[in-house]
Amino acid sequence: MRIVVLAGGIGGARFLRGLKQAAPDADITVIGNTGDDIHLFGLKVCPDLDTVMYTLGGGIHEEQGWGRAGETFAVKEELAAYGVGPEWFGLGDRDVATHIVRTQMLGAGYPLSAVTEALCKRWEPGVRLLPMTDDRVETHVVVDTGEGRKAVHFQEYWVGLRAEPTAHAVVPVGAEQAAPAPGVLEAVAAADVVLFPPSNPVVSIGTILAVPGVREAIADAGVPVVGLSPLIGGAPVRGMADKVLAAIGVESTAAAVAAHYGSGLLDGWLVDASDAEAVPEVERVGIRCRAVPLLMSDTAATAAMARAALELAEEVRA
Amino acid sequence: MRIVVLAGGIGGARFLRGLKQAAPDADITVIGNTGDDIHLFGLKVCPDLDTVMYTLGGGIHEEQGWGRAGETFAVKEELAAYGVGPEWFGLGDRDVATHIVRTQMLGAGYPLSAVTEALCKRWEPGVRLLPMTDDRVETHVVVDTGEGRKAVHFQEYWVGLRAEPTAHAVVPVGAEQAAPAPGVLEAVAAADVVLFPPSNPVVSIGTILAVPGVREAIADAGVPVVGLSPLIGGAPVRGMADKVLAAIGVESTAAAVAAHYGSGLLDGWLVDASDAEAVPEVERVGIRCRAVPLLMSDTAATAAMARAALELAEEVRA
């Protein structure tokens, strides 16, 4: 079975770990969000791709969900001693090596997809990890500041400002001019099923879908497309998805997110068992819906979620 | 008193520490060798400038003589895990931050002299540290390999190959097209004395003198130029200066090095007390010479050497 998964960072990475357990023989291609990418200290940082790579490759800081296990911060401390910021970015020493290798390869002319493949040779994530695009796309968020509104890089909004200022718009800068990375459309066309993990529907999956051709390829693939709600009981399980949903005028409920994707894209949708009352609402807009436990408390629980998603996909197909 | 010092790495840096103690009120300008500079992992590394900056700024690894005190090597270990080398270069985590700041500033268009000044704002070395040039100069060494002769970067020869292959030539690639950095010729013209520390006469001081205009400015400054022998008893105190002296056909003795600089450039020369028999030989070629203890065993001993050099300068002047 060929499964294509659109993934952001922590939520996507943890879901993938469950999916690998649930479908050990599946051929999994991950289309990773690169809208979070940022140039920091002259280095190219790809937080979502790295989170997937480290999580599936056994290098992730488990409790934190991002960054490396056993990480140290000498480089960051020294940069601060030179007065070079931003200080809000958690740049670990081990992580720096990944960014150095990536930056050096990009500088030598390799596209991000080739760089990602090279980095994955070390991590052996057990999936094929593709960036959504080799082109530069950067998600910017329009926020209120003391001196009026301004657009800041998503990382500054999310990490630096902890999503506290009101977000008025989320713009994947460069997405309109971007092309899907080599292999992305081919993987979608060859897929037996497409899954949307409980990743952020705006700045993770939404950004991937904003790359011209990706949404259309998924809608036209003629295979089941099943998503899992990142919201439980009207709130994100992790992160601050509600803030960016508000910015694009979508209510923070499992049903509203399903309707936002729409029945033209989504065939099936899983909501948490505690959100069972949303099922008829989702089915009314033409999306098959089931309520199952959606807390990724451990890999076994996550594998059960992945199985439920694959079962729903088979139901849709039949 | 305005003192100009031509400095390489460890020897130059330690001498400068002694000089600062010997002449606390002097205005010291250091012209640093950049022929050892190397691009590694996409980062611009300036080993000699950093050794001077860290040593005078209190950040040096004292026993080792180069690199940072309390250094860790997470970045290097991770690069090795990615299969990215060279592994022979001792790239510490703290050191990486310096290279990141430098590389980022150079990428933003600042010349190396401005970058060095910015880095020194943190380290406050108590001297004005100027790179010999803002242009790219890289010392290459022609060595014997299994498959004939080839030119390798000085760092690869010195650190990677531990100066073991026979060196046939030392070439400061790019020096002929290089211009002295802003302030270099002005500092020489305004100097009351010019000192050559016991640095490598070929790949440190020799490279600085290879930048067009520098040798001439020193020779024409009309002020005493005094050097200290890096060789004691026919062998380098530290490092492998004898190897590169052989490559340029200069005998590894204190007298031969003085003659190599020549009386057109050098007015005074200090040899070690154990090399007293060299004094008449040096004076025969027109360079005033004294024998004093030249082992930089601690800062007090080094300060005594610096005082002896300044005294010899005054003797020359009178």
**Tokens linked to B19:** 């000089």
Strand spans (E) along A197-254:
225-228, 231-232, 235-236
**B203-207 average pLDDT score:** 96
A102–chain B nearest CA distance, Å:
10
Q: Where are the beta strands (DSSP E) in chain B?
A: 2-7, 27-32, 38-40, 43-45, 128-131, 138-145, 148-153, 167-173, 193-196, 225-228, 231-232, 235-236, 268-272, 288-292
Identify the band that residue A240 occupies on the pLDDT scale cut at 50, 70 and 90.
confident
**What residue ranges do the domains of chain B occupy?**
2-133+177-317
Out of B97, B103, B122, name the one closest to residue A75 (CB): B97
Please state, in angstroms and rounded to a whole number, the distance separating the CA atoms of residues B112 and B134: 5
A156 CB within 8 Å of a chain B CB:
no
Chain A, 20 to 79: residues with Cβ < 8 Å from chain B are 41-43, 72, 74-79
Cross-chain CB nearest to A101 (options B84, B97, B107): B84
Tell me, yes or no, if A175 comes closer than 8 A to chain B by beta carbon: no
Q: Spell out which residues of chain A touch residue B42, defining contact as CB-CB under 8 Å.
A: 100, 103-104, 107
Task: Report pLDDT for B242.
Answer: 87
- pLDDT range class, residue A203, cuts 50, 70, 90: very high
Residues 6 or more apart in contact with residue B298 via CB below 8 angstroms: none
A36 annotated as a binding-site residue: no
For A243-253, write each residue's pLDDT tens digit.
899 999 999 99
- Determine, for residues B43 and A100 on separate chains, whether the beta-carbon distance falls below 8 Å: yes
Judge contact between A107 and A47, C-beta under 8 A.
no
Which residue among A82, A119, A122 places its CB closest to the CB of B97? A82
- The candidate with the shortest Cα–Cα distance to B25, out of B314, B310, B265, is B310
β A225-228/A193-196 pair status: parallel
For range A199-222, the mean pLDDT: 97
Cβ pair A72:B75 closer than 8 A? no
SS (H, E, C) B255-275: HHHHHHHCCCCCCEEEEEHHH
* Predicted confidence (pLDDT) per residue in A44-55, tens digit: 999 999 999 999
> What is the ipTM score, two decimals?
0.91
Taking an 8 Å cut-off on Cβ atoms, the answer to whether B74 and A97 are in contact is: yes
Instruction: Give A129-161 as a DSSP string.
Output: EEESBSS--EEEEEEEETTEEEEEEHHIIIIIS
Residue A239 has pLDDT above 80, yes or no: no
Select from B41, B43, B74 the Cβ nearest to the Cβ of A72: B74
**Tens-digit pLDDT profile for residues B144-169:** 888 889 999 999 998 898 889 999 99
DSSP assignment, residue A78?
H
Is the minimum CB–CB distance between B249 and chain A shorter than 8 Å? no
Total number of residues shown for chain A:
318
Matching residue, tokens 């790239």:
B91
Q: Is residue B239 predicted with pLDDT exceeding 80? A: no
Span B63-69, mean pLDDT?
94
Per-residue pLDDT tens for A151-164? 999 999 988 988 89
Residue B40 CA to residue B54 CA, distance in Å, equals: 20
| Number of other CB atoms surrounding residue A83 within 10 Å | 11
Q: What is the tens place of the pLDDT at every residue in A264-274?
A: 999 999 999 99
- Across the interface, whether the CB atoms of B96 and A119 are under 8 A apart is answered no
- B79 contacts A74? CB cut-off 8 A: no
A114 to chain B, closest Cα gap in Å: 14
Residue A50 distance to chain B (closest CA, Å): 14
Output the pLDDT for position A98: 98
Nearest residue on chain B to A104, judged by CA atoms? B42
Q: Is B303 helix (H, G, I), strand (E, B) or coil?
A: helix
Question: pLDDT (tens digit, 9 = 90+) per residue, B17-54?
Answer: 999 999 999 999 999 999 999 999 999 999 999 999 99
Predicted local distance difference test score (pLDDT) of residue A198? 96
B226: left (phi over 0), alpha (psi -120 to 50) or beta: beta
When pLDDT is cut at 50, 70 and 90, the band that residue B236 belongs to is confident
State phi, psi for A29 to the nearest 5 degrees. -110, 125
**Out of A126-135, B9-18, B140-149, least confident range:** B140-149
Instruction: Say how far apart CA A152 and CA B141 lie, in whole Å.
Output: 49
> Coil, strand or helix: which one is A228?
strand
Q: Produce one character per residue of B157-193: b if its CB has 16 or more CB atoms within 10 Å, e if not.
A: bbbbbebebebeebbbebbeebebbebbbebbeebbb
CB contact under 8 A, A97 and B103: no
Question: Shortest Cα distance from B43 to chain A (angstroms)?
Answer: 9
The answer to whether the Cβ–Cβ distance between B42 and A107 falls below 8 Å is yes
Mean pLDDT of chain A, nearest integer: 95
| C-alpha distances out from residue A125 to A3, A53, A121, A153, B81, Å | 15, 6, 9, 28, 15
The secondary structure of B37-100 as a DSSP string is -EEETTEEE-HHHHHHHHHHHT-B-TTTSSSBTT---HHHHHHHHTT-S-TTS---HHHHHHHH
User: Which CATH number, 1.20.1290.10, 3.60.20.40, 3.10.20.600, 3.40.50.10680, labels domain A2-133+177-317?
Assistant: 3.40.50.10680
Are B75 and A83 an interchain contact pair (Cβ–Cβ within 8 Å)?
A: no
Q: How many CB atoms lie within 10 A of CB B70?
A: 10
- Tell me whether B103 touches chain A (CB under 8 Å): yes
Lowest mean pLDDT among A87-101, A275-289, B45-59, B237-251: B237-251
The band of B1, judged by pLDDT with boundaries at 50, 70 and 90, is: very high
For residue A82, give the nearest of B76, B82, B101 by CB distance. Answer: B101
Q: Which residues does B239 contact at the CB level (< 8 Å), separation at least 6?
A: B10, B11, B200, B230
What is the rounded average pLDDT of the residues A108-123?
98
β-strand partners of B289: B269
pLDDT band at A26, cuts 50/70/90? very high
CB contact under 8 A, B100 and A72: no
Best residue in A40, A77, A82, A122 for a mutation probing chain B (most B CBs within 10 Å) = A82
Considering only the beta carbons, identify the residue of A93, A101, A107 that sits closest to B74. Answer: A93
